[in-house]
Amino acid sequence: MSAAADVTMLRDAFGASIWETLEFRGEQTVRVELGSLHDVLAKCRNDLGYEMILDISSIDYFGEDPRFEMVYEIATLDNSKHLRVKAKVGEDETVPSVTNLWVGADWHEREVWDMMGISFSGHPNLKRILMWEGYPYFPLRKDFPLAGRPTDMPDVAFTGVAPLEGGPFVTSGGSEDVAKREPRAHVVE
């Protein structure tokens, strides 16, 4: 069976919940309503053989309603089928977590939450993964200023000598002999 055949099966199973199907350069995309997203992905996982989640991302259509769109890239382990599932999400809507279907969805969903502010219901540990806890903004939203926002965090960047210079994790480049590049081989007198 192919991804195109799977799209037909999904359309038959979910009817009006499948808003659109697209084929472009051999890639299949299914656009579903948010309320059926988890059920569609569960069918893909449990009945159609999509054992692997490759990526979860989001798009900000700032100025449109609904503002966001979730994008799920799923595939079979033998790479014979690849499917993209999309769902529009309003600014105040919550997306159902798919961590119960794919454990690998955990970090992807945390990243979407951290960068875009899209919340996931049923996620086991929905907290920031890139920004620090308590950071009040979502940096990948289109209304986030390019220059950033002021912060209370101390400035940790510096231009002086790196604190580990000459330390145990710094090698000497350019030496042809591996043993001579090893920092512990340098004797400081």
Instruction: Note the pLDDT tens digit of each residue in 138-147.
Output: 999 999 887 7
- 68 close to 91: Cβ distance less than 8 angstroms: yes
Q: Is 162 contained in some domain?
A: no
Write the single-letter amino acid at 62. F
Instruction: Tell me which residue range forms the domain holding 41.
Output: 3-150
Tokens standing for residue 142: 């289109």
Task: Please report the pLDDT score of residue 168 as a whole number.
Answer: 52
Show the tokens assigned to 153.
Answer: 């965090």
Does residue 93 lie in a domain region?
yes
Residue-level pLDDT at 102 = 97
Q: Give the predicted TM-score (pTM) of the model.
A: 0.79
Distance from C-alpha of 164 to C-alpha of 181, rounded to nearest angstrom: 16
- Residue 150: the pLDDT is 74
- Give the closest residue to 70 by CA, choosing from 42, 105, 102: 105
Tell me the pairing of strands 68-75 and 18-24. Answer: unpaired
Which of 102, 127, 107, 108 is closest to 38 using CA atoms?
102
Q: What is the pLDDT of the chain when averaged over all its residues?
A: 87
Evaluate whether 117 touches 106 at the Cβ level (below 8 Å).
Answer: no
Q: Is residue 125 situated within a structural domain?
A: yes
Domain count, the chain: 1
Question: What CATH number is attached to the domain comprising 60?
Answer: 3.30.460.80
**Is 102 domain-assigned?**
yes
Question: How does pLDDT run across 80-122, given as a tens digit for each residue?
Answer: 999 999 999 999 999 999 999 999 999 999 999 999 999 999 9
pLDDT at position 134: 85
* Averaged pLDDT for residues 26-44: 97
**Least confident range of 67-76, 134-143, 173-182:** 173-182
Spatial CA neighbour of 105 closest among 122, 117, 91: 122
Q: Which residues contact 60 (CB under 8 A, 6 or more apart)?
A: 67, 68, 116, 140, 141, 142
Residue 95 in tokens: 């997306």
Structure tokens of 23? 């084929």
pLDDT for 73 equals: 98
Q: Is there a domain that residue 38 lies in?
A: yes
Above 90 in pLDDT, residue 159? no
